[in-house]
Amino acid sequence: MIKYPSTLAYLALALIIVACTRQTPWVAQAPAGAAYCQIDRAGESIIPNGRIIKPAGKSIVTAPHPYGLVLSPDGKVAVTANSGNAPFSITVIRNFAGPGEPQVRQIPEGADNQEGILESVFMGLAITSDNRYVFVAGGQSNKIFKFDLETGKKIDSLRCGVVDGDRDYTQGYIGDMILSRDGTRLYALDQIGFRLMVIDAQTLQLLHNIPTGRYPFGITLSPDGRSLYVANVGVFEYKPLNNLDPKNLKGTASDFVTSGYNTPEMREGYKKGQLDVPGLGDPNSPEGFSVWKYTLGEQPKVSKKIKTGFLVGDLVDGVPAVGGASPNSLVATDRYVFVSNGNNDCISAIDFVKDTVVKNIFLKPDPRLGGFRGVIPFGLALSPDRKQLFVAESGVNAVGVVDAEKLEVLGHIPTGWFPSKVAVTPDGKKLLVTSAKGYGSGPNGGKNWQEGPEGHYVGGLMFGLLNVIDVPNAEQLKAHTAEVVRQNYNFAPANDAQFKWRAANPVPLFPGQKESPIKYIVFISKENRTFDEVFAQVKGVKGDATLARYGANQKVVNRRHTDSVMNATVMVNHLALAERFSISDNFYVDSDHSADGHRWLVNTYPNEWVETGVTASYGGKRRMRANSKAPGNLLLYGSSGAIYPEDYNEAGSMWDHLERNKKEFFNFGFGVELAGGIDDSTMKYTGLKYLVNYPIPGPLFDRSSRKYATYNMAIPDQFRVKTFFEEFNEKFMGAGKTLPEVLTIILPNDHGAGERPHAGYPYRASYMADNDLALGRVVEFLSNTPYWKNMAIVVTEDDAQDGQDHVDAHRSILMVISPYARKNFVGHQHYSFGSIFKTFWNILGIPYLNQYDAAATDLADLFTDKPDFSPYKAFPVNPKIFDPQKALTPMDAKFDWKAVIESPKLDNVEDFLKQNH
């Protein structure tokens, strides 16, 4: 277990929202207020976290997720690299500054990629000095492509898969690249091969493979062309367990995660029985979270390894840094090399001669948020005279402007959602910014929605933007900065009249304002549902009943259309709980997918490494490869439900936060589903087995159930409930035992899977019914414990990617179940994941963790000071859709639940919803 020092300094910093005027604390809320998500390209758009998008300058639409940007030497052509679900492409944009309309060409054209043209594009781009050709990094294809900018035709490519001495680069992931000023050399990074490639740009021949640190991400050349710098965004080189038998993986894998982060076991490895776990070493090693300098010449060599930002364990405002700096992008002047540290919200200025960091330049759009992180600096660009530095501030949808000589922040400029890369025209007058998520997704279904060629999957709807902005003067920059603050935060003094209604509310206005009657928080995560498909028929909601496929009076049909159930209510307990307690119809997941969703679920925000990796992964072009010898092959993200050391935020996750603030918790299945595991229906305990030595946060390792099944669709949620009841009674009931302040529980089966009639799942909807019954049973169980009178249960989803919604593809489920929940209430305030955690911290009286919870609107609107302590009685689900006993039989468990038999039938949902249950 990792122990932390006193947090008095942190409490003093973060107790309210830091800044005080005459001792009156400020409270921050989401700028959206009660507005729903919307896209308004001519006005103001609202994105899922309740912030406003109104970019400065002109906005040009690109394909989804433009994480790469390059400007031709003559300043006339901009090219973006679009890495995401559909399509993998480049966008060539001419006449972007006007007059007239810009000329936009996507290569390949259309919503579907053409295999063999751009199989897997990432962010690396370089345009030749004659402005005719563009080199494109091919990501997992392990190729570099050369395209003619005029015709859009691919004219050449380089296969980068080679064996060089004892290093096997057959598999690679080609990322960032840069072209020498004379156009003779192309330098490119292989993220999973941990190598720098030197390429003859004229002949496209691979000349040198040079080792880098772990997961090289960004690259730049010195102005004189004699030195090259690489930013390494990785921490560890992960390896399979030493004892694995390929013929018996199930028998030789680990039954649980192998270690807690930054423990001796993680660093040094260990042997226990047959288990042989290799150590990962020091998270502060020169190979991880570092900048490597190369001296160029006939044989380029590493000449310096530099650590930037904060090291793991460094005290920051009295709190030891949990995550490292995440250095990711670089640019250089004659005096400094600038590096963006994605986890530290700062730019490190490295002295060009001494190769040491002389200053960390912190990016803080508003001082009232003090040291809370969440700006996420990413791409960098310099003005032609190298006097100004421009920083893509991905977390606050802005570009920071820095005096590159005085090393001071001058201001901020509003952009689209999640700006990633920046460039400046040769005349210094125009700033170009790619915004990876544009204006957001908008709706992806409903009776008034028209589906386009991009389909309705959320990843295909997140069109990017190229923002073209006049470089502002001092007065204009001041106005832009005020606009950035307005679009991200809504501050008000705590004694403002708008908060008078909070006087008796059980949720304090800020941590420490008063004591809450709520002492126990139960946080339940489910999987992948939108609001409309479950709650669209509930009275008083903003819903589209045509999308309520898991609501009331639905036709449930199997995939082959050979069997059906008519007039079925699929998720009966969800509807009953919505009637009895509170839900929101204006809640949004910040995530697009499960991989980033499970990061948001533990109060961390995905950094630039996660965002770029997840979009490529869900496009099918960033996956682990079987038998790959690439040292970085094991950290290509799929849909795992955990955080990794590469994306640990500076202050860590909710687990670290609870421990350092001396709040106890216990975890059932949250955050322990790691990549590279194996699972099947026999793994009723834990849900999977582990093949790789990935660590998890130390506090989570110590406080997680060793029995409860994490994500595995072959394990019924009914069996998870059985395990939960047994362990709860064993640990928390009886003389001398007490419940921790926080319980976290995953009930994942509403994710859905293939039909398995033999196992009790004849329809996809069967998984929803399983999940619904499990939720009802958990609430019934908890509401009959002595802890209920001081308990709040919050239920949400990790993402909404599998459903459709007429408001926004990110709109999802939020339920507050508590004696203190308002009865039969639908809240309309704009909520996000940050709202959930802000509510937790307000109730528990501990500080906020980052800008996303600190600046969100809490859930107080869903609570009342007039409690109803009546327990909940769960409803049985339709046995034609889901038979609990049939699902439990393979688990060797009996579904012996008398309460279901005694529960009232719910034959007519419309009549039920009219009752005051």
pLDDT of residue 898: 46
> What pLDDT score was predicted for residue 914?
35
b/e per residue 295-313 (b: at least 16 CB within 10 A): ebeeebebebebbbbbebe
Phi/psi-derived region of residue 512, left when phi > 0, alpha when psi is between -120 and 50, beta in every other case:
left
Q: What is the pLDDT of residues 369-422, one digit of tens each?
A: 889 999 999 999 999 999 999 999 999 999 999 999 999 999 999 999 999 999
pLDDT for res 109:
78
The model carries a pTM of 0.94
End-to-end CA distance of the chain, in Å?
45
Q: Rg of the chain's alpha carbons, rounded to an integer?
A: 27
The CA distance from 794 to 798, in Å, is 13
For residue 122, the model assigns a pLDDT of 76
Structure tokens of 53?
């998008």
pLDDT for 13 equals 40
Report pLDDT digits (tens) over 754-775.
Answer: 999 999 999 999 999 999 999 9
pLDDT at position 613, please?
Answer: 86
**Residue 285: both structure tokens together:** 């090693």
Residues in the chain with pLDDT values less than 70: 1-24, 84-87, 110-119, 619-623, 636-639, 895-917
- The span from the CA of 697 to the CA of 654, in Å, is 10
Q: Is 659 exposed, middle or buried (0-12, 13-18, 19+ CB in 10 A)?
A: buried
Residue 183, CB-side half-sphere exposure with 13 Å CA sphere: 11
Task: Check residue 8 and give its pLDDT.
Answer: 38
Where does 212-300 show beta strands of DSSP type E? 216-221, 227-232, 259-260, 269-272, 275-278, 290-295
pLDDT value for 111: 60
Which CATH number is associated with domain 520-599+651-668+713-914? 3.40.720
- Output helix, strand, coil percentages for the chain, rounded to the nearest 5: 20, 30, 50
The class (CATH top level) of 61-211+606-648 is mainly beta
Chain centre distance of CA 67: 16
Domain boundaries, the chain: 61-211+606-648, 520-599+651-668+713-914
Q: Please state the length of the chain.
A: 917
pLDDT, tens only, 585-621: 999 999 998 889 899 999 999 999 999 988 777 766 6
Instruction: Evaluate whether 874 touches 903 at the Cβ level (below 8 Å).
Output: yes
Give residue 628's pLDDT: 86
